[in-house]
Structure 1
Amino acid sequence: MQQPDETNAPAHDGTEDDTRAIRALWADMARGWAAGDAALFAASFAEDCDFTTVRGDKPLGRSGIAAGHDALFHGPYAGTVLDARVVAVRFLRPDLATVEAESTINAPDGNPLITTHALAVVERTAQGHWSISAFHNMVPAPRPPQPGPAPDRKETPVGEPTAARPRVRHLAIVARDPEKLAEFYSSVFAMELFHRDPDGSCFLSDGYFSLALIKHRLDGETPAGFNHFGFHIEDTAATTGALVAAGTPKPAERFTDRPFAEYRAMDPEGNWFDLSEHGFGGPRPPSDSTGS
């Protein structure tokens, strides 16, 4: 694992040994991830660490962090590798510092699956050991378009706030060969691959619309072909009220490690669709600005 040598720490606030010890916390996390050892991964965190996942979940301390990652290591991220990079260390006091870090989860074949950014608070204990007391993880949002003339098409970019009217921004297809199909849509329609799941599912975007190519499972009941679509909405509570008033079931929260839609709903015919306030990910749309 390669880590930048530079930090933002004033020379008089933290020693080189302190900086090395802080960086070692992330190296230990990466070793625990590679070994599928949730206890080793969680050992870098304080017993009462305030941890926030990319979905906003808050596991209870070190034991909750270990339990959550054990499920990941035996589930969707089995066999994956974590590349953890400390970007900056800033000492607030000799025994207290903030850390900016980036992490990329790589599939067993080496392909990157997802990159997250984190801001952490680390403290030195009375015994002289450093540990992470607070950790907030997130998936970076697509950058907004640069200022300039408005494009001819008037769609709202993927990941941008919507107007009051919900917009269809997502389509999912169950595919027998997601990689081959992704290559088709990339080469013919210039769509950009922005995420892979460990099972080979591929997610593409044209900057306005996301396309999920979900790996078909031989032991599953979901047939190949169209699976669901998704609305980018402004207010989940208001949309939920409208759906219930229309006689459909209340949307169900999606418990998934994919950083996309938050809720699943269905129409009166039983067709599935997703609901998301934050959008469906993907690259920012092309800008018509000459300064881009």
Structure 2
Amino acid sequence: MTISMPVDEILAGMARAWNAGDGAAWAAHFAEDADFVDVVGRVQRGRDVIATEHQKIFDTVYQGSRLAIRCLDSRQLADGVLLVHTVSTLRVPEGPRAGEWHAIQTKIVRDGKILAFHNTGRMDLADFVGDDEGLARRSPQEWRRQDS
């Protein structure tokens, strides 16, 4: 696992911004023309949009939430360009998203700024397959209906 100091600084800054509920500070870690795919699959294009959309959730469904994020792995794609995978835990105290949420993120980072960020929620495989024991024993590639 390779972690560059700028990645650690980005992650620490993102956690501080999230925990402060500050959309502009969150977005400051992104390049001006960055793309952000949120956990529900919406594509947010550009730092200003990322700031605005995050402020909306900080003021509503994620108000008072606490984010912990850490680097899972990192590798260089090209000179000065990193592919970074992070994992996060989000604790939401109340409201429609109350509880603890886990996610994994893929980021492309250049010169200390995030160019692209894709956020994907994580869940237990048994929950995903609706406690279907037979399906849970199969690999995802085998999930097609047996009669098809």
- TM bucket by the smaller chain? 0.7 to 0.9
CA RMSD of aligned residues (A): 2.5
TM-score (norm 2): 0.79
1:131 equivalent among 113, 117, 139: 113
Higher strand share: 2
Paired residue secondary structure (1:79): coil
1:79 equivalent among 61, 64, 68: 64
TM-score (norm 1): 0.42
Q: Name which structure has the greater RCO, CA cutoff 8 Å, separation 6+.
A: 2
1:117 equivalent among 83, 87, 104: 104
Deviation at 1:52, TM superposition (A): 0.7
Unaligned runs of 5+ in 2: 138-148
Deviation at 1:142, TM superposition (A): 3.9
Q: 1:106 to 1:93 in 2, by over 3 A?
A: same
The alignment status of 1:70 with 2:55, answered yes or no, reads: yes
Counterpart of 2:122? Answer: 140
Query: Which residue identity does 2:100 align to in structure 1?
Result: L
Mapping 1:207-218, distance limit 5 Å: 207-208=131-132
2:22 equivalent among 37, 49, 61: 37
Question: Could you tell me whether the CA contact under 8 Å between 1:100 and 1:120 is conserved in 2?
Answer: yes
Question: Could you tell me whether the CA contact under 8 Å between 1:104 and 1:112 is conserved in 2?
Answer: no
Q: Rg bigger for which structure?
A: 1
Cα distance in 1 for residues equivalent to 2:34 and 2:28: 11
Higher helix share: 2
Paired residue secondary structure (2:41): coil
Q: How many residues align?
A: 133
Cα distance in 2 for residues equivalent to 1:32 and 1:106: 15
Deviations 1:147-182 (A, max 9, x none): xxxxxxxxxx7534xxxxxxxx7xxxxxxxxxxxxx
Unaligned runs of 5+ in 1: 1-6, 10-18, 125-129, 144-156, 161-168, 170-206, 209-283, 288-292
2:128 equivalent among 135, 146, 159: 159
Deviation at 1:21, TM superposition (A): 1.0
Q: Which runs of 4+ in 1 moved over 6 A?
A: none
Question: Could you tell me whether the CA contact under 8 Å between 2:93 and 2:99 is conserved in 1?
Answer: no
Query: Which residue identity does 1:62 align to in structure 2?
Result: R
Cα distance in 2 for residues equivalent to 1:58 and 1:90: 24
Paired residue secondary structure (2:6): helix
Mapping 1:1-292, distance limit 5 Å: 7-8=1-2, 19-108=4-93, 113-124=100-111, 130-143=112-125, 159-160=128-129, 207-208=131-132
Question: Could you tell me whether the CA contact under 8 Å between 1:121 and 1:132 is conserved in 2?
Answer: yes
